[in-house]
Amino acid sequence: MTTPSETATDQVAAEDDAGMPARVPVQAGPLPAESPEFPAAGATASLSARWHEIQAMFVDDPRSSAEMAAGLVDDSVQALVASVREQQDSLLASWHGENAGTEELRAAVQHYRAFGERLAGFTRGV
């Protein structure tokens, strides 16, 4: 994902007169305080270590291994949902209010679209 400081324009999908998709440049707006991303990759190392532990104990205690795996996935789902809610709140705060101008609203729509596409990509991958 690029930031406004990295590029002066962003591309959005549009259609030409024949109804064919075209790319139209638009000025990139300011990002919300926190860019909507999924939980940090830094947690990946910890998860990897936990998965290794769960797999290693399977031979001695398969049931406990399965229970731990279920708990780890449950923790991950809860963290993901909390992260998505925080990002949703951040997006709302970036434009919600009486003083939001057209530029803030346009940027909000772009950020919602990008966030929605990431969510859709996540659900397609399941």
Q: For the chain, give every domain's residue range.
A: 37-124
- Cα(86)–Cα(43) distance, rounded to whole angstroms? 17
For 41-84, write each residue's pLDDT tens digit.
556 778 899 999 999 999 999 999 999 999 999 999 999 999 99
Whole-number pLDDT of residue 125: 66
CB 94 within 8 A of CB 107: yes
Which two tokens mark 95? 């434009």
- Report pTM: 0.58
